[in-house]
């Protein structure tokens, strides 16, 4: 099957600054991909290359197998929603949505019919004649989405469309956007700073770091099998502990400062060498019990720590505990009533060998 959109080794510099290097991605028809990454890592630049507002220095862009290098932005059949919505302030919601149809040579009556229909889809059928200043943030966002979808684009690009909304509206808009874009079968690339949003919405996530892709995969892959410490740290919360790896027969022995982990060698990533590594364990993979000061060798897959803070999160507790070397680990305690540890008690945090990931240091 031909991909809906292919990015092949895209590179872009601004003067001497290399904003993007070697970005390669393949999107299937109807796929929802989220671009995630720190500020300045190249997400917007990538969207602008796809939209045609910027030209790449290197690499190729293909839509349905066809090189789109020579095709100007307005003829690429790509819909885009910007962070600030970029609605025309002097036009009503209806005229805003009808606007892209005009530049595509569609007649007045048909423009009105399709714009009305699309505003109905985003549940704004009753506010056709409002101007942007008379709309709430979420409503403006939906007008912008309707405008991006009204000409039935093959690819929809969303650059932090929910950035300005409060948490509750964000969550409902996330589901709304999924519902609408799925209904149109559109291929979507969405940029966000909110990793929870990325986990909820995406078929796949592309995580950017300094103009390159750190990892591309399903939310589950990035969460459970991060390629490196950057990914582990960026997607979800993680405890990262420096350690030394040695293999002994079928067993991998990971030795840290006052703790020891053992796991089957086949759980290690291919190509991971003995020596300095980082052990990653998620807060929810740790179980707390009373400290017992037993020798390290007798208690593999656990670590002793001192409780420093117990944070109440409503549905769960989060324990911050300090290791002998001073670093802090986090432990998620799902049952709010179960915790009997107060600050300054010594605890043992244990994990299953299956729940840790050993990363290149």
Interacting residues toward Mg ion by CB under 5 A: 44
Q: Which is nearer to ligand ATP, 39 or 298 (CB)?
A: 39
β pairing state of 346-350 and 58-63: unpaired
Q: Residue 11 in contact with residue 56, Cβ under 8 Å? A: yes
CB of 205 to ligand ATP, least distance (A): 14
CB of 43 to Mg ion, least distance (A): 5
Q: Which is nearer to Mg ion, 84 or 166 (CB)?
A: 84
Distance of CA 106 to the CA centre of its chain: 37
Q: Which of ligand ATP, Mg ion, none interacts with 39 (beta carbon under 5 to 8 A by kind)?
A: ligand ATP
What is the rounded CA–CA span in Å between residue 254 and residue 271?
16
What is the rounded CA–CA span in Å between residue 259 and residue 303?
5
Q: Which is nearer to ligand ATP, 18 or 255 (CB)?
A: 18
137-149 helix and 93-102 helix, angle to the nearest 10 degrees: 20
Kindly provide the b/e burial profile for residues 48-58, where b requires at least 16 CB atoms within 10 angstroms of the residue's own CB.
bbbbbebebee
Q: Which is nearer to ligand ATP, 12 or 140 (CB)?
A: 12
What is the rounded CA–CA span in Å between residue 291 and residue 289?
6
CB of 58 to ligand ATP, least distance (A): 15
CB of 172 to ligand ATP, least distance (A): 23
137-149 helix and 167-184 helix, angle to the nearest 10 degrees: 10
Which residue is nearest to Mg ion, using beta carbons?
44
CB of 13 to ligand ATP, least distance (A): 9
CB of 39 to Mg ion, least distance (A): 7
What is the rounded CA–CA span in Å between residue 78 and residue 156?
6
β pairing state of 356-360 and 317-322: unpaired
Q: Which is nearer to Mg ion, 39 or 315 (CB)?
A: 39
Residues near ligand ATP (CB under 6 A): 14, 17, 19, 37, 39-45
Compute and round to an integer the Cα radius of gyration of the chain: 25
CB of 44 to Mg ion, least distance (A): 3
Q: Which of ligand ATP, Mg ion, none interacts with 19 (beta carbon under 5 to 8 A by kind)?
A: ligand ATP
Q: Which of Mg ion, ligand ATP, none interacts with 204 (beta carbon under 5 to 8 A by kind)?
A: none
Q: Which of ligand ATP, Mg ion, none interacts with 236 (beta carbon under 5 to 8 A by kind)?
A: none
Residue 247 phi, psi (nearest 5): -105, 135
Q: Which of Mg ion, ligand ATP, none interacts with 41 (beta carbon under 5 to 8 A by kind)?
A: ligand ATP
Q: Which is nearer to Mg ion, 47 or 119 (CB)?
A: 47
Q: Which is nearer to ligand ATP, 195 or 239 (CB)?
A: 195
Here the tokens at position 175 are 């589901």
| DSSP H or E stretch at residue 108 | helix 108-121
């Amino acid at each position: 099957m031909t991909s809906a959109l292919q990015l092949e080794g895209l590179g872009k510099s601004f003067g001497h600054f290399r904003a993007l290097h070697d970005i390669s991605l393949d999107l299937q028809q109807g796929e929802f991909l989220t671009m995630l990454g720190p500020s300045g890592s190249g997400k917007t630049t990538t969207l602008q290359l796809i939209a045609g507002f910027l030209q790449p220095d290197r690499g190729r862009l293909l839509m349905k197998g066809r090189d789109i290098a020579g095709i100007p932005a307005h003829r690429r059949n790509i819909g885009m929603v910007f962070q600030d919505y970029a609605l025309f302030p002097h036009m009503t919601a209806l005229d805003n949505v009808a606007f892209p149809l005009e530049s595509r040579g569609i007649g007045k009556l048909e423009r009105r019919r399709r714009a009305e229909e699309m505003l109905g889809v985003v549940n704004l059928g009753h506010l056709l004649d409002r101007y942007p200043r008379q709309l709430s943030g979420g409503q403006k966002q939906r007008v912008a989405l309707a405008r991006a979808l009204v000409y039935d684009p093959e690819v929809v690009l969303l650059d932090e469309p929910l950035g300005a909304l409060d948490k509750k509206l964000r969550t409902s808009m996330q589901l709304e956007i999924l519902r609408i874009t799925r209904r149109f079968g559109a291929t979507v690339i969405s940029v966000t700073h909110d990793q929870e949003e990325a986990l909820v919405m995406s078929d796949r996530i592309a995580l950017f770091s300094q103009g390159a892709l750190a990892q591309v995969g399903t939310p589950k892959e990035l969460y459970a099998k991060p390629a490196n410490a950057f990914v582990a740290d960026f997607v979800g919360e993680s405890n990262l502990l420096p350690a030394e790896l040695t293999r002994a027969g079928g067993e991998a022995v990971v030795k840290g400062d006052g703790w020891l982990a053992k796991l089957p060698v086949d759980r290690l990533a291919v190509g991971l060498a003995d020596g300095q590594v980082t052990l990653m364990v998620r807060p929810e993979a740790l179980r707390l019990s009373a400290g017992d000061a037993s020798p390290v060798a007798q208690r593999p897959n656990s670590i002793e720590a001192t409780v420093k803070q117990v944070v109440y999160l409503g549905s769960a507790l989060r324990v911050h505990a300090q290791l002998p070397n001073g670093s802090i680990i986090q432990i998620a305690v799902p049952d709010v009533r179960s915790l009997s540890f107060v600050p300054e008690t010594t605890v043992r945090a244990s994990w299953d060998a299956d729940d840790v990931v050993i990363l290149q240091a």
